[in-house]
Structure 1
Amino acid sequence: MTACDVLAIGETMAMVTPVAGGTLNGRSALVLHPGGAESNVAASLAQFGARTEWASAVGADALGDMILSEVASHGVGTSHVRRDAHAPTGVYFKDPKPDRTDVLYYRAGSAASAMGVDRLDDWTPLKPRLVHVSGITPALSATCEALIEAVVVERVFGDAVVSFDVNHRPQLWAGDAGPVLRKLAAHSDIVFVGRDEAERVWGTTDADSVRAMFPDVRHLVVKDGDVEAVSFTDGGRVAMPSRHVDVVDPVGAGDAFAAGWLMAHLRGETEPDKLSLGHWTAAQVLRAAGDLAPLPDYTDALSAAIHASSPTLTMPAFDRES
């Protein structure tokens, strides 16, 4: 089987959202699209030209049909998504407010929540260069947690780089998410985490305190909303201010940032260029009503990102003794 650049593993649901300017008040027109962190990353990477596969499960229902069709339309391989005749496709609703967007989940007992390590024999022949997962999946069920631990800790994909987006969703966790997410982050090669969610689950205060918690993660990227993103590697600390844009919908911007950063990483770019493309890709989604935005090919995107980027601040390597 032909190897792929990126394998993204995780649940995608049917996302119901009001048209621009609407709310969930019974009077707004609604639109239906796929919504899933990992498939969002795969779709943006595919638009940039990466060979991507998405592995998951959906119901054998019309919502599953819609998800598979739309994810595939972005160039993502979907042949490793199981159709489950006994469990439904999950659904969630966006409820836009003047200062935030609330999300209402209806995913209990979904097809994806039944995923487990038994799926791995179907997926390992893909031989991906990079596997991308998130902290959403282990919250869905015990079998999903075992699956993600096999990918991240046991390294069932061998030499593949493991990328982990913390993506803490408090309403999905019955208990304390902190220890599980900390273990997965500590065993990953690339970690994306928001400064605010790190404070919520681990009690850290800033990017440097997150690094102090994970001194051995090869690539740690801490995103601080509209302030900055900070990348930590053995080569040092690189910070880049966020771009200021007129926000239409913030949901999906973190996935877009991860996709931009990962694409530049796959192409061997510098840390500043990875952050530039991450910020630029996130900005495209922030301006869009959905979780995805049309993207140009990689060369044009990187050129636009570098042109639009703010000056970088490079600091000495993190002192692990402090």
Structure 2
Amino acid sequence: MTIGAPRVLCIGESMALFVPAGSGQAHEVRDWKRSVGGAESNVACHLASLGVPSGWVSAVGADPFGRALLEEIAAAGVDVGGTIVDPARPTGLYIKESDADGSPVRYYRTGSAASAMGPELLDRLDLTGVEVIHLSGITPALSPSCLELVRAVLTAPREGRCVSFDVNWRPALWAGRDARVLGELAALADLVLVGEDEAEAVLGTRDPARLRALLPGPSAVVVKHGERGATLLEDGGPAVFAPALRVEVVEPVGAGDAFAAGFLAASLRGADPATRLRSGHLQAASTLLTHDDVGVPLPGAVVRGLLDADEHDWAAATLTGSALTGGAIAGVTGAGASERTGMSRT
């Protein structure tokens, strides 16, 4: 956990998340477990767990859910001082319905406090010491004023800062509207993170080289290929691909936010392109191994060993749930660098 002047400021809505506390159909469930859900606060919490001072800026209602969000995100080591408490509008809610088909999600966010955010929010922010502002494509879908807020951030003078934009295309949020605006916003960012499926939906292609041609403005574009890996296309350098780790997946939700945080943290450390991508994959793995949107960090020895592993050993490794509960040796199987990571030979 890290608390301090934010180096990364994440702007966007978070909501109270409810999941059934037991089994059964959602309409039959009486007991629910409440937690926090939101792409930008997820990124901020991951960054804090990685030792990067982070802040989360949004708006919440003057209600118990808003108070819970502020307290829990702050407890993760995130600066929440820039978040507004709106006395007139509620905190957004959403629920996950666990069933045989997965975890369908239902949102109750229309008219939420966060949906009323606008470009005037920028005038309230203290950006002293902030090196990265992180946004996602969820925010501009919430309301016209939220779209203008994102545009304002992307077009404001940088003053040495980087603006990171995770496309985060959500079909339900863009139903009946032209999602190509996400491509226009991405073109204004310095760093773009996009999944190949959403790239095809928003920009018409999933090919990294064609995406780079469509987005010449950003200094770096990261194309995520799901379980296959990710490609980094950066000014002045060749395309770099890093395969994803094999993981015993428990819940896929939140992996993209975790990847963004891992990549940003490594970038702030000045890591080379391959290490930045691997750092994203490792942080995503920590979330894939749990039901939580923000998982428990992997043991340091596992992270260091895998970051240093050669291509063969990286490709041979598999992360299991015991990597989160055991020692440095537990939870990683594969070939090769057993002296460094405890990876057993197979």
Give the TM-score, by structure 1 length.
Answer: 0.89
Match of 2:200 in 1: 199
What amino acid is aligned across from residue 273 of structure 1 in structure 2? T
Deviations 1:44-72 (A, max 9, x none): 10111111111110000000111111101
Partner residue of 2:255 out of 220, 244, 253: 253
Contact 2:136 2:166 in 1 (8 A): yes
Structure 1 vs Structure 2 CA RMSD: 2.3
Shift of 1:258: 0.3
Give the aligned partner of residue 178 of structure 1. Answer: 179
Q: Alpha-carbon deviations, 1:228-260, whole Å to 9, x = none? A: 111111211111111121211111110000000
Q: Is the 8 A contact 2:244 2:278 kept in 1?
A: no
Check if 1:190 corresponds to 2:163. Answer: no
Matched, 1:287 2:289: yes
Contact 1:61 1:89 in 2 (8 A): yes
Q: Secondary structure at the match of 2:227?
A: coil
2:68 pairs with 1:48: no
Counterpart in 2 of 1:70? Answer: 72
Unpaired runs of at least 5, structure 2: 316-346
Task: Work out whether residues 124 and 157 of structure 1, in 8 Å CA contact, stay in contact via their aligned partners in 2.
Answer: no
Distance change >3 Å, CA 237–CA 23, structure 1 → 2: farther
Q: Name the CA shift for 1:150/1:16 in 2 (closer, same or farther; >3 Å).
A: same
Closer, same or farther in 2 for the Cα pair 1:53/1:221, shift >3 Å? same
Distance in 1 (alpha carbons) for counterparts of 2:226 and 2:22: 22
Question: Among 245, 255, 259, which residue is 1:243 paired with?
Answer: 245
Q: What amino acid maps onto 2:267 in structure 1?
A: H
Structure 2 match to 1:319: none
Aligned-partner Cα distance in 1 for 2:26–2:174: 25
Asked if 2 retains the 8 angstrom alpha-carbon contact of 1:277 and 1:301, the reply is: no
The answer to whether 1:4 aligns with 2:31 is: no
Determine the C-alpha separation between the residues in 1 that align with 2:21 and 2:224. 28
Task: Give the length in aligned residue pairs.
Answer: 310
**Paired residue type of 1:26:** E
- Could you say if the C-alpha distance between residues 25 and 209 of structure 1 is closer, same or farther in structure 2, counting changes exceeding 3 Å? farther
Q: Percent identity?
A: 44
Farther off after superposition, 234-243 or 251-260: 234-243
State the match for 2:224 in structure 1.
Answer: 223
| CA distance, structure 1, for counterparts of residue 99 and residue 178 of structure 2 | 27
Matched residue type, 1:86: A
Deviation at 1:227, TM superposition (A): 1.2
Aligned to 1:214: 215
Alignment of 1:1-322 (within 5 A): 4-19=6-21, 24-27=26-29, 29-98=31-100, 100-152=102-154, 154-234=155-235, 235-295=237-297, 302-307=303-308, 310=311
> Between Structure 1 and Structure 2, whose CA radius of gyration is higher?
2
CA contact (8 A) 2:89 2:112 kept: yes
1:208 Cα deviation after fit? 2.8
Q: Is the Cα–Cα contact under 8 Å of residues 241 and 310 in structure 1 kept in the other structure? A: no
Name the SS of the counterpart of 1:105 in structure 2: strand
SS at structure 2 position matched to 1:86: coil
Moved more, 116-125 or 136-145: 116-125
Cα distance change of structure 1 residues 243 and 97 upon mapping to structure 2, 3 Å threshold: farther
Distance 2:79 2:194 in 1: 26
